[in-house]
Amino acid sequence: MPNHKSAEKRDRQNARRSEVNTANRTRLRSQVKKLRLAVTSSKGEEARAMHSDTIALIDKAVQKGILHRNAAARHKSRLTLHVNKLTAK
């Protein structure tokens, strides 16, 4: 338990930020899973449409400090590769 007013405030802030980070991380992971599902089920047009939304979410996650920029680049590259393979057929 915090013993000072500033420590109590810090606890409240950390809890609030943790909830926001968790929500953003969950949103990102869900979108990536949906895109991967569309790719594996060979839904080319649906995957192409979801791809831009997923890339935007990944970029926002980097801005919010949820994902490292190199990890984001790796995810974007791999997802783009899978979508391009699917739509090239």
**Domain encompassing residue 57:** 5-88
Query: Is the pLDDT reported for residue 89 higher than 80?
Result: no
Tens digits of residue pLDDT in 64-78: 999 999 999 999 999
In the chain, what percentage of residues exceed pLDDT 90? Answer: 88
Report the candidate in 89, 80, 70 with the shortest Cα–Cα distance to residue 32: 80
Q: What is the dihedral of CA 51, 36, 46, 42, to 10 degrees?
A: 130
How far is it, in rounded angstroms, from Cα 76 to Cα 6? 40
Count of domains for the chain: 1
Report the candidate in 50, 41, 53, 39 with the shortest Cα–Cα distance to residue 81: 39
CATH number of the domain bearing residue 64: 1.20.58.110
Helix, strand, coil content of the chain in percent (nearest 5): 85, 0, 15
pTM: 0.84
In the chain, what percentage of residues exceed pLDDT 70? Answer: 99
